[in-house]
A and B are shown apart, each in its own frame.
Chain A
């Protein structure tokens, strides 16, 4: 019997719902670890015996048992806050319990010898957008001139030097860390990549508080979301310039712009694959611009990025199926 596929995610992850169902229908055996139910709804016992860890997890509501020795593949999807039996832990108890759980979880994961989509060390090493630009340029992509600074004067000089508009882009998350504070403490929900104009002149003084990331605004013919799954490359052409809501940042899902499958030039597809593999990743979701002159410009790679929105809008890009098949093959050691 094939080994099991551990999916590390949270309850709300629809991607995991759909891929797990396809894994199961492909004779794979998924085990879902929702971190926002962990350890509350799980029993865990790990024992170091004879030079190795033994034991595993039991999902208490279903009775499903996962033995460490039976894990053949891991799909690292999404993070979540841990959940404990009591909701009344003091702040220090909660902080300590969280730290212990993180230590236990990653001790478990790092000790596994199996197929990874992708290994947490590789994911961690791949998330830094400033480093991504350097690597992308080295691999032949166009990369927008970029600046990080907490000096307004340097932004002005940068804008003058590039001779074009610039955009502000949050490097960590467009959610502005809303998920990290209690609902009553949230003062902003999100900020998409924003074109900076003269209307923002006064606001720019605020960069003195915390360095900010700006890039030259690159004129777009269209955008590409390129999703690498194992050795497969799925490219969606996004007609982001057809609606003002998506012209600067395509991630506004109220705009009914056209998404369609794109056949990438072979050298661009290979470059995307090589970029993802260069980090030791088995998955990556890259955002590219194609300029009016046909240049491919790299914006970023998301090592655990979303892909379902693309598949929903371009059903022929069967990424849930490809991902499930990859995990099943990986668990079987193929």
Chain B
């Protein structure tokens, strides 16, 4: 698959993702199932992990 980014937004996202992370992203208590996570719809907001076995909130909550 072609993974080299060409579009500015993707290059920018790649650069941000490459920055050192302070820890695994985790939704704050009380808001993680508010429908503001996982726009892809692959996650199960009611489960501890999504169907891929990953912690929910794969989009870091950027969906409102």
Contact = CB atoms under 8 A, between A and B. Distances in A.
A161 interface: no
- Name the residue in B25, B26, B28, B64 with the highest tally of chain A Cβ atoms < 10 Å from its Cβ: B64
A309 B62 contact: no
Contact of A189 (B1, B41, B44, B59): B59
Interface string B13-35: 11111000000011110111111
B64 A12 contact: no
A170 B9 contact: yes
B63 A80 contact: no
Interface in A147-201: 168, 170, 173-176, 178-179, 183-192, 194, 199-200
A302 B64 contact: yes
Interface string A99-115: 00000000000000000
Contacts, number: 140
A300 to B, nearest CB: 11
A313 to B, nearest CB: 6
Q: Please classify how large the interface on chain A is, using the bins under 10, 10 to 19, 20 to 34, 35 or more.
A: 35 or more
A256 B10 CA distance: 28
Interface in A288-310: 302, 305-306, 308-309
Chain B interface mostly? loop
Contacts of A90: none
A184 B2 CA distance: 12
Chain A interface mostly? loop
A251 B27 contact: no
Interface in A13-40: 13-15, 36
A179 B31 contact: no
A253 B37 contact: yes
B59 A256 contact: no
Interface of A: 10, 12-15, 36, 80, 168, 170, 173-176, 178-179, 183-192, 194, 199-200, 203-204, 206-207, 209-210, 212, 249, 251-256, 285, 302, 305-306, 308-309, 312-313
Interface of B: 1, 3, 5-17, 25-28, 30-37, 39-45, 52, 57-64
10 contacts: A15-B35, A173-B63, A175-B59, A178-B59, A184-B1, A249-B62, A254-B27, A309-B31, A309-B64, A313-B30
